Structure formats: structure tokens, C-alpha cells
Amino acid sequence: MLNIEDLHVRIGDKEVLKGINLKIKEGETFILFGPNGSGKTTLLMAIMGFQGYEVTRGKIIFRGQDVTHMPTYERARLGIGMSFQRPPTIHGLKTKDLVQLCARDKEVDVPAMARTVNFESFLERDINDGFSGGEIKRSELLQLMAQDPYLVLFDEPESGVDLENMVLVGKTAKKLLDGPTEPSPFESMRDRRARHNTSGLIITHTGYILDYVNADRGQVMYNGVLCCDSRPNRPRDILDHISKYGYKECVRCLN
């Protein structure tokens, strides 16, 4: 799905990512830990291809295509979707219209989709205008549901979200990654799962999201490089380790 090789990224004069190697397989969910300022958000921004994140070395391969220098919208159309941490307000652009735009030519039932994230009453509102932390997350997830990407990039799903919203955000993120969890009369559960091969790259500090999604692997970003590969299906071990010993172990690990 995603194959990042020796990626170096500069913001202005500062080299923030210093040789990232990362593989995420189809249907795999990868968790990224790491202290503030280590470069986690930068990695997501570089994968999405935003201005100001200059790739100086290495490449990003997505589903077999080199997207390293592709414009953002082409990456989105290929199936990379991102949940923003602090999305901008766009005046006069109704939430429902943006959700429809995310779906492009696909037929989507926007109100029905909104219902699943308890967001119907926001559809007529200008996107992100006065949204609370939890509302932003639900809005971002709703847009991602409409976009239906192959790879979901999710920056700190728990930030600014209260407990009640966290349950909804967690469950929705799971549904986005796993696909529908109920069998359908037309398709066996196994076939449904097989068709649904969404991958995830999730940044978390608290690990709350791990209560909801099935994380396959995890690593720590430290000062622009990745370290501490978790055992398969055990990204939580990393979290436990960090909460016990802090990130100082990473320094040792890297030296």
C-alpha cells in the first residue's frame, strides 16, 4: 500500500525528517508514537504533499506509484485521505456540500452517513465554523467516509475530544479501517473484509485510539527518525514502555 524509502523532508531551512523507512501493507494499521516536535505531523503532511514540506531525498510509493512529487489532489484521488488536526473554516461552504465534494462522482447518501457520526445537525453549517474539538473529528471522519480512501492518515484522533466523543470517534475510525462489521445478505463477512483493504497511519500520544482500532504495528518517531519497532499486533507494548520509562530509551536505542 505505502512504501516510504529513505525520506528526507525539509521545512524551510530545517531538516525535520532524516531518512524515514516505512512500509504499510494493505489493510494494515500502523501506529506512530513520539514526543512533540519529533516530526510525526510532518510525515503526514509530506505523504499528502503539502506546500512547504520539501522532499530532499528518498521517495513515497503508494499502491505501486511514485507519488513523491505529485500534487496533493492527485494523491487524494489515488486514495490517500487525511484527517486534519486543525482544519480551516471556509465561509459559505456548507458541510454537506464539502462531504459531497469528497465523494467526487460516487453516489453517497450524505445525511445517512452523517447520522452515523451524529452530525446531521451540522450539515447546513459552514465547514469548521465554530466546531469544537470533537465536532472537528466527526466532520473529518464524515469527509473521509465520503472519500473512502485506501489509506487513512489520522493525526491525533483523541486531541481535544471528550470521553463521549472518543467512543464515537474510535468506533467510526474502526469502521473506516475495517469496513462494515455486519454481514450482508449479498456477501459473506469474509468477502466483505477482503474487498475492504483500507490501511491506516495513526498518530497518537495517549493511545486511547488503541481501545477501538486493531493496530497491527507501531513505531516511535524520535527527532526525525523511526525506531522501536513493536512486535506484531503489539503497538501497545511501546506505549506501556514509554509511560514507564519515557522517551529517553529512544535515545539509547538510536545511539
Partner 1 sequence: MSELKEKNDPVNLDIYSFSGGDEAQQQDLAGISADDRGQLLMAGMDVREAHRSGTFLQFDHAQVHCKSCQKGVEVLGINDALKKYDGLPDYFWKAIDKEQDEFTRASAAATTQGGYFIRTEKGAKISDPVQSCMFIKGENTGQNVHNVIIVEEDSEVHIITGCATSHGVSSAMHLGISEIYVKKGGHLTFTMIHNWGDDVVVRPRTVGIVEEDGVFLSNYILLNRVKSVQSYPTVYLNGRGALARFNAVIVTPKGSYVDTGNRIVLNAPDTRGEIVSRTITTGGINIARGEIIANAVPAKGHLECKGLILGDGVIHAIPELVGTKTGVELSHEAAVGKIAQEEIEYLMARGLDEDEATSTIVRGFLNVDIMGLPKELKETIDRTIAEHEGEMF
Binding residues for partner 1 (CB under 8 A)? 48, 50-51, 71-73, 76-77, 81-82, 84, 87-88, 90-93, 98, 101-102, 104, 126, 143, 147
Cα–Cα dist 187/164, whole Å: 33
CB of 73 to partner 1, least distance (A): 4
CB of 54 to ligand ADP, least distance (A): 11
CB of 103 to ligand ADP, least distance (A): 29
Interface positions, 25-64, toward ligand ADP (CB under 6 A): 34, 36-42
Choosing among partner 1, ligand ADP, Mg ion, none, which partner's interface includes residue 200 (Cβ < 5 to 8 Å by kind)?
none
Query: How many chain residues interact with Mg ion (CB under 5 A)?
Result: 1
Taking the least distance from each CB to ligand ADP, the nearer of 34 and 81 is 34
Q: Which of 41, 95, 172, 204 binds Mg ion (CB under 5 A)?
A: 41
67 close to 78: Cβ distance less than 8 angstroms: yes
Q: Which stretch binds Mg ion (CB under 5 A): 23-31, 39-47, 170-178, 191-199?
A: 39-47
CB of 38 to ligand ADP, least distance (A): 4
CB of 156 to Mg ion, least distance (A): 7
CA within 13 Å, CB half, 84: 13
Choosing among Mg ion, ligand ADP, partner 1, none, which partner's interface includes residue 254 (Cβ < 5 to 8 Å by kind)?
none
Taking the least distance from each CB to partner 1, the nearer of 71 and 180 is 71
CB of 145 to partner 1, least distance (A): 12
- Please provide the DSSP assignment of the chain as one string: -EEEEEEEEEETTEEEEEEEEEEE-TT-EEEEE--TTSSHHHHHHHHHT-TT-EEEEEEEEETTEE-TT--HHHHHHHTEEEE-SSPPP-TT-BHHHHHHHHHTTS---HHHHHHHTT-GGGTTSBTTTT--HHHHHHHHHHHHHHH--SEEEEE-TTTT--HHHHHHHHHHHHHHHH---S-BTTB-HHHHHHH---EEEEE-SS-GGGGTS---EEEEEETTEEE-PPPTT-HHHHHHHHHHHTTHHHHHHH-
242 CB-contact burial (10 Å; exposed 0-12 / middle 13-18 / buried 19+):
buried
CB of 155 to ligand ADP, least distance (A): 7
Choosing among partner 1, Mg ion, ligand ADP, none, which partner's interface includes residue 121 (Cβ < 5 to 8 Å by kind)?
none
List of residues contacting ligand ADP (CB under 6 A): 11-12, 14, 16, 34, 36-42
List of residues contacting Mg ion (CB under 5 A): 41
